[in-house]
Amino acid sequence: MPTLAYYYIWFNPTSWSRAKIDYPLLGRYSSDDATIMERHIRWAKAAGIRGFLVSWKSTPVLDARLATLRGVAAAEGFKLGIVYQGLDFHRHPLPVDTVQHDLAQLAERYGDDPVFRIFDRPLVVWSGTWQFSTDEIIQATAGVRSRLLVLASAKNVKDYERVHGAVDGDAYYWSSVDPRTNTRYRDKLVAMSAAVHARGGLWIAPAAPGFDARLIGGKEVVDRRDGQTLREEMAAAAASSPDAIGVISWNEFSENTYIEPSTGLGDTALRLWPSLRDAGRTSASA
């Protein structure tokens, strides 16, 4: 069962002046920098993380950054998947023709690339499927499913069951849950896993170290509790019998879910990883 981390390539030096309370140990970097990518991958590999799930939409800047990251990952023997951002800045769905074109572009560029073979085909998580009709999802995915594994991002069993025939599984991005107060959290992951697996799909379960998005308009705060939140969320994810765990996140510094070493927290999260892997194996076999 691979552990993957959600990874963002949208950073410019000016990004760090907005809505941040902590900063990377590597400095206020640009996501164009291959040396930063290399350090990230080496840190992740040393911790036992097998790959990054890379946030992407088709723009010249992000296309170039993804190509650079792909080259670094190939040199380091590291895996990549794609999180396709199907919603615009205002959280409205992109035109379905745009999504169809972008998925076809991914299939053409990376469909045969071993860097993207976490599973038997390159993995693409379509973020925002809940904003698209079932017919739109069928239209966008029909031409690429022989070359890509396209996962929905449904947040509950009902929504997954609505779209399951047009996708190859589900990856739930649940960054703001508090395992101390949500008594149904673990049961929900188990139920979603059962629904996905009953239909032959892949299930990527979420786990986060904490959450605080108040500087970008959020209200929820989940304290890291010196790593205890991450321990509990990794154990809950593993208990749902996932095909992979999606750690939220490597470097989402606006929502404060990052595990990348930082000036404020150091490498605390990465130093936890050996014990987290052991806890995950225990939970999965229980």
Question: Residue 51: helix, strand or coil by DSSP?
Answer: strand
Strand locations in the chain, DSSP E? 3-7, 51-56, 79-85, 123-127, 149-151, 169-171, 202-207, 211-212, 221-222, 244-247
Q: What would you report as the CA-atom Rg of the chain, rounded to the nearest whole angstrom?
A: 18
Closest CA to 240 of 283, 179, 184: 283
User: HSE (CB half, 13 Å, CA atoms) of 171?
Assistant: 26
pTM across the whole model: 0.96
User: Could you read off the pLDDT tens digit of each residue along the chain, which spans 286 residues?
Assistant: 899 999 999 999 999 999 999 999 999 999 999 999 999 999 999 999 999 999 999 999 999 999 999 999 999 999 999 999 999 988 999 999 999 999 999 999 999 999 999 999 999 999 999 999 999 999 999 999 999 999 999 999 999 999 999 999 999 999 999 999 999 999 999 999 999 999 999 999 999 999 999 999 999 999 999 999 999 999 999 999 999 999 999 999 999 999 999 999 999 999 887 777 655 554 544 4
pLDDT value for 89: 87
pLDDT value for 277: 62
pLDDT value for 86: 97
pLDDT value for 161: 97
Q: Are 71 and 23 in contact (CB under 8 A)?
A: no
pLDDT value for 278: 56
211/222 Cα distance (integer angstroms)? 5
